[in-house]
Structure 1
Amino acid sequence: MLFVKTVTSFMAVQCVRSRVCHRKFWGWLNAVFNKVDYDRIKDVGPDRAASEWLLRCGASVRYKGFDKWQKDYNHLPTGPLEKFKIERIDATESCIMFKGFDYLDYLEHVEEIKFQRCIYIQDECLERLCRIQNLQKSLQWLEIISCGNVTDRGIISLHLLKNLRYLFLSDLPGIEEKEKTLQILIRALPNCEIKVDL
């Protein structure tokens, strides 16, 4: 009986260790996927480099003038690079994180971004996003859904996106002062339709 208890206990410890190692491995791999390659940006241009980053992390992109979403990293379009300008980003369940946001700096045509169930999106990501001058000009549609690490601070930073026309916020448990935060956005973004389901 003692032997059985010892073996069971040993197996339980191994299982816990395995899960911890598994999480550490994926965290490390996601950090690798988000590492910015500045030489690649110079070589192929910002839209191609950002496409590679986003798809590598599990997001999808749609190019200006195209109806189809690009979801497969291995089937990125070929041809003149200047033809493929990112217009929409769907980062649903992707592993994009703060360190990769430098890829967004030189994108000039992004009108729509959706962050849904993104475990690495946090206040610093939204603050960084809002400081990108090209996005301040082009971004019109933003959705932030079920991103548990976003707080009032990150949402308030969205007031810098003056050209937003639509903002949807849903299932953000980190937001504590909902009414106050919403009022700040309403005053700062009078031309934006703000929908909230918190």
Structure 2
Amino acid sequence: MLLGKLVQPACSLKKLSSPGVCRHFWGWLNAVFNKVDYERIQAVGPDRAASEWLLRCGALVRFQGYEKWQRDYNGLPTGPLGKYKIQAIDATESCIMYRGFDYLDGLEHVEEIKLCKCMYIQDECLQRLSQTMNLQKSLLRLEIISCGNVTDKGIIALQKLRNLEYLFLSDLPAIRERETTVQILKKSLPSLEVKLDLE
């Protein structure tokens, strides 16, 4: 990515040699990537705008009716407005954060989401996800892996995803009451299959 090649060396300069300064800079840049452009959503539709956001942040998307994952921002397919609908999101090691979640509101066909090693995903993100009306209807499978800021509170919030069929939870050190949390989910979502890989 050209931006990375231009910007990264700046952190090795003497005045930016402190790791804290680099982290602050990248946090700022990631926040810029997550800023919601409501005019863009209106202009190109929610699925295209959300695809651009997700790929800009390092996530992948798969469109309904297609097997191929979209990885390249510049390679997103073009076509009539609304032709490509997001069916699956793989946010592994991406920088998606709460401030960008408004992009999810207009998505009506998302069945699968994978959140793996997402440093900015926290309870508020899962609460926001579960309050998204379209996702409450469409989301069937969710994986949350190695997201260190997710606690029981965030997992319990997922009970609003009324059609969720499969939930995989792995390497979530902030989960303290896993049995109680799973029981709460199962009570609200009796048909939910929960798979745990938690210490």
2:168 maps to 168
Cα deviations across residues 157-190 of structure 1 (Å, max 9, x unaligned)? 0111110111101110011111111111111111
Structure 2 unaligned spans of 5+: 1-13
Matched-pair contact (CA < 8 Å) for 2:141–2:164: yes
Q: How do residues 1-198 of structure 1 correspond to structure 2 at under 5 angstroms? A: 17-198=17-198
Cα deviations across residues 45-79 of structure 1 (Å, max 9, x unaligned)? 00000000000000000000111000111111111
Structure 1 unaligned spans of 5+: 1-13
Provide the secondary structure at the position in 1 that maps to 2:77.
Answer: coil
1:10 maps to none
Whole-angstrom distance in 1 between the partners of 2:122 and 2:157: 12
TM-fit CA distance, 1:81: 2.8
Whole-angstrom distance in 2 between the partners of 1:124 and 1:85: 26
Whole-angstrom distance in 2 between the partners of 1:178 and 1:137: 26
Cα deviations across residues 73-107 of structure 1 (Å, max 9, x unaligned)? 11111111321000000000000000000000010
Whole-angstrom distance in 2 between the partners of 1:110 and 1:91: 13
Read off the aligned partner of 1:70 and give its amino acid letter: Q
* Structure label with greater radius of gyration: 1
Read off the aligned partner of 2:130 and give its amino acid letter: C
Whole-angstrom distance in 1 between the partners of 2:185 and 2:103: 26
TM-fit CA distance, 1:20: 1.7
Read off the aligned partner of 2:134 and give its amino acid letter: N
Whole-angstrom distance in 2 between the partners of 1:187 and 1:93: 32
Provide the secondary structure at the position in 2 that maps to 1:195.
Answer: strand
- Runs of 4+ more than 6 Å apart: none
Whole-angstrom distance in 2 between the partners of 1:81 and 1:117: 33
Whole-angstrom distance in 2 between the partners of 1:78 and 1:163: 31
Matched-pair contact (CA < 8 Å) for 2:16–2:22: no
TM-score normalised by length of structure 1: 0.91
Read off the aligned partner of 1:147 and give its amino acid letter: C
C-alpha RMSD over aligned residues: 1.2
TM-fit CA distance, 1:22: 1.1
1:3 maps to none
TM-fit CA distance, 1:18: 2.8
Read off the aligned partner of 2:71 and give its amino acid letter: K
Read off the aligned partner of 1:80 and give its amino acid letter: P
TM-score normalised by length of structure 2: 0.90
